[in-house]
Amino acid sequence: MTSATLAPDRPAGNRRSVRGGLPLTRVSGLGLGVAMVWFSLLVLIPLAAVAVTAAGGGWDGFWRTVTNEQTAATIRLTVGTALLVTLVNIVMGTLIAWVLVRDNFFGKRALEILIDVPFALPTIVAGLVLLSLYGPGSPLGVNIANTRIAVFLAFLFVTLPFIVRTVQPVLAELDPEVEEAAASLGASRYTTFRRIVLPSLTPAIAAGAALSFARAVGEYGSLVLLTGNLPMRTEVASVRILSSIENDNLDSAAAVAVVLLAISLAVIVVLDVIQRRVMRRG
Amino acid sequence: MAEHLIAARTQVGRRPGRYVLRIVVTAYLFFLVAWPLYLVGRNAFADGLTSLNDILTDPDVTHALRLSVVIAVAAVVINTVFGVGISILLVRYDFPGKRTLNALLDMPLSVSPIVVGLALVLVYGGREGWFGPTLESAGLQIIFAVPGMVLATVFVALPLVIREVVPVLQEVGDEQEQAARSLGANAVQTFRRITLPAIKWGVIYGVVLSLARSLGEFGAVKVVSGNVLGETRTATLVVEEKYLNFDKGGSYATAFLLALVAVACIIVVSVLRPKEDR
């Protein structure tokens, strides 16, 4: 996702605002009805089915499944690694966006394309790609396959575009004259960045961080070949859900899935709050 | 004069830091994306053209490639029609619950593909799904068949067209549409002659990105496909299958083809987009 989806000419935080408009006519009302039926059949009802199935076992059943030793370990690993990766992305993503906007050098266009590669590349291929440099027979002489570092690396790869693509358009619209004014008044470059640039970027960074965290938490494809899915060591939550599905244990699959869905939902709420705050300010 | 000095000083002051940042960023992207990507290409051609030739003459693989294309095209068509329609509704009309719908439309981007697959199985699964048994007795199998794989692919790529089209619609405004209407054009004419040409590029980016995403979907499709050789196996499932069966050449060659399409899609978008912005 995302993602190359994140067009470089998007307003702050990459969230569209859709206020106002005409009242519905008969045709547009019908269109909305059809669209809502389709959206419900495809997204809303299936996601509700996950919640209902998870609730079917009662709170005790849900809690027992989620706190099962092996399951809890996968959730801890997934959330912990996703947080770590998001922190790295906050620093590296902002840095990359900065270089892409403020610097100009031969090969910048190529870097722009590289940023979007993780978004468009099939996740299973992403895993294979990383395996070829960091797996057995690596030209670098390292082998991180089947370790927790592999989980970290896979998350880092698939979430690369998110913060870059949300920060880039905001940074491009910042007026450099304000920074020059701060500098001419004697502010050091660090002070200028912290007091002038960073506050304007914070909503975009937060929005990108939320997306990148959500993406990492749900990641599956890039881990299949890379991490070996060792229980208690490199197994992540989505792999755990899949093995429950394959063992025909849909109830416990749904219980773990609800935890992931709750995280996605929290991310959406956070994004919405950030968007509202930005709009109020602007 | 003073301004000139300040400008000169900041220029000089910036220089060393700028090179450091440039090198850090380039190195990061080189080690994380560029070099690994290059190695997949090299591994695919480790035995010359043999691996590529092998997979392209393997009927199971060509079937999988064809199936991937069919599913991706179907998903892109569905998402384009739905995406353009819902974008127009979101931007041009007002209705209760619009903000919630707008937020929910982004949900598929942050839901795990495995959860997507599970959700679809719970509703459309043939044995205990909510609607599955009814549909199956009507002769329509969804899970472990192509319709389910299309549904899963549509789900994961759902917001992409919307995300491209909505900002374009907002930017072009609705003055021309109103003018067309007041001159007597009906809704279809207005859409075809005014709205569609104006949002053309947004739609094209959305379609290309959706195509890349749809061709590459793996987790959600894996759950709903059953992965039956020669029937419901897609290209991404072949990559996994071949790698686990120690056919690394075949795996890398298939991955190379998929990566080629993905990179081509990105290059198409990035070449088209700046022209449009200027």
CATH of the domain at B82: 1.10.3720.10
Distance from CA of B202 to the nearest CA of A (A): 10
Within 8 A of A214 by CB-CB distance, chain B residues are: 109-110
Low-confidence ranges of chain B (pLDDT < 70): 1-15, 227-230, 274-278
Q: Which residue of B has its CA nearest to A255?
A: B115
Distance from CA of A123 to the nearest CA of B (A): 7
Alpha-carbon distances, residue B185 vs A6, A130, B176, B217 (angstroms)? 34, 55, 11, 41
∠ CA A253-A255-A258, nearest 5°, is 110
B163 and B239 within one domain: yes
Which one of B22, B112, B175, B242 would you mutate to disrupt binding with A, by most A Cβ within 10 Å of its Cβ? B112
B162 backbone φψ class: left, alpha, beta (φ>0; ψ -120 to 50): alpha
Within 8 A of B99 by CB-CB distance, chain A residues are: 18
Contact yes or no for B161/B208 (Cβ under 8 A): no
B225 and B187 within one domain: yes
Q: What are phi and psi of B94, to 5 degrees?
A: -125, 130
B267 → closest Cβ in A23, A113, A272: A113
A80-105 pLDDT, tens digit each:
999 999 999 999 999 999 999 888 88
Distance from CA of A116 to the nearest CA of B (A): 7
Alpha-carbon distances, residue A183 vs A52, A193, A197 (angstroms)? 58, 10, 12
Within 8 A of A9 by CB-CB distance, chain B residues are: 167, 277
Single residue among B26, B44, B62 that ends a domain in this structure: B44
B191 and B131 within one domain: yes
B127 and B14 within one domain: no
Residue A153 has which token pair? 């690396």
B67 and B38 within one domain: no
SS3 state at A31: helix
B181 and B65 within one domain: yes
Distance from CA of B182 to the nearest CA of A (A): 15
Within 8 A of B18 by CB-CB distance, chain A residues are: 102-103
B266 → closest Cβ in A1, A95, A116: A116
- The burial class, CB within 10 Å (0-12 / 13-18 / 19+), for A7 is buried
∠ CA B270-B276-B278, nearest 5°, is 110
Structural domain range at position B251: 49-277
Question: Residue A16 has what pLDDT?
Answer: 60
B130 and B36 within one domain: no
Question: Residue A17 has what pLDDT?
Answer: 65
Q: Quick check: B209 and A5 CB within 8 A? A: yes
Contact yes or no for A166/A90 (Cβ under 8 A): no
Q: Quick check: A49 and B130 CB within 8 A? A: yes
B216 → closest Cβ in A112, A114, A122: A122
CA–CA separation, B95 and A223 (whole Å):
42
Question: Residue A257 has what pLDDT?
Answer: 93
Within 8 A of A221 by CB-CB distance, chain B residues are: 113, 218-219, 236
Could you tell me the sign of the dihedral formed by the alpha carbons of A7, A9, A14, A19, in that order?
negative
Residue B154 has which token pair? 């549509």
Distance from CA of A279 to the nearest CA of B (A): 14
Cβ neighbours of residue A197 under 8 Å, at least 6 residues apart?
A: A171, A174, A179
B239 and B101 within one domain: yes
Q: What are phi and psi of A173, to 5 degrees?
A: -90, -10
Between chain A and chain B, the number of residue pairs with CB atoms below 8 A apart is 308
Which one of B107, B122, B128, B182 would you mutate to disrupt binding with A, by most A Cβ within 10 Å of its Cβ? B122
Helices (H), A103-121: 108-120
Measure the CA dihedral A99/A210/B237/A76, to 10°: 120
B58 and B37 within one domain: no
Within 8 A of A155 by CB-CB distance, chain B residues are: none
Within 8 A of A260 by CB-CB distance, chain B residues are: 111-112, 115
Return the residue matching tokens 């906007």.
A101
B6 → closest Cβ in A105, A116, A184: A184
Measure the CA dihedral B72/B54/B44/B64, to 10°: 20
Q: Quick check: B21 and A98 CB within 8 A? A: yes
Cβ neighbours of residue A111 under 8 Å, at least 6 residues apart?
A: A96, A99, A100, B25, B26, B29
Q: Which residue of B has its CA nearest to A152?
A: B32
Beta pairing class for A22-23 and B93-94: parallel
B125 and B35 within one domain: no
Question: Residue A8 has what pLDDT?
Answer: 38
Question: Residue B220 has what pLDDT?
Answer: 92
A89-145 pLDDT, tens digit each:
999 999 999 999 888 888 888 898 899 899 889 999 999 999 989 988 788 888 888
B254 and B146 within one domain: yes
Q: Quick check: B33 and A114 CB within 8 A? A: yes
CA–CA separation, A177 and A149 (whole Å):
43
Low-confidence ranges of chain A (pLDDT < 50): 1-14
B79 and B124 within one domain: yes
Question: Residue B258 has what pLDDT?
Answer: 92
A257 → closest Cβ in B115, B123, B128: B115
Number of domains in chain B: 2
Q: Quick check: B259 and A121 CB within 8 A? A: yes
What's the distance, Cα to Cα, between the start and end of chain B in Å?
34
Q: Which residue of A has its CA nearest to B174?
A: A21
Examine the predicted complex and report whether its ipTM is higher than 0.95. no
A224 → closest Cβ in B98, B187, B240: B240
Within 8 A of A53 by CB-CB distance, chain B residues are: 122
Q: Quick check: A264 and B107 CB within 8 A? A: yes
CA–CA separation, B184 and B177 (whole Å):
11
Residues A100-130: b if buried by 16+ CB within 10 A, e if exposed:
bbeeeeeeeeebbbbbbbbbbbbbbbbbbbb
Q: Quick check: B109 and A42 CB within 8 A? A: no
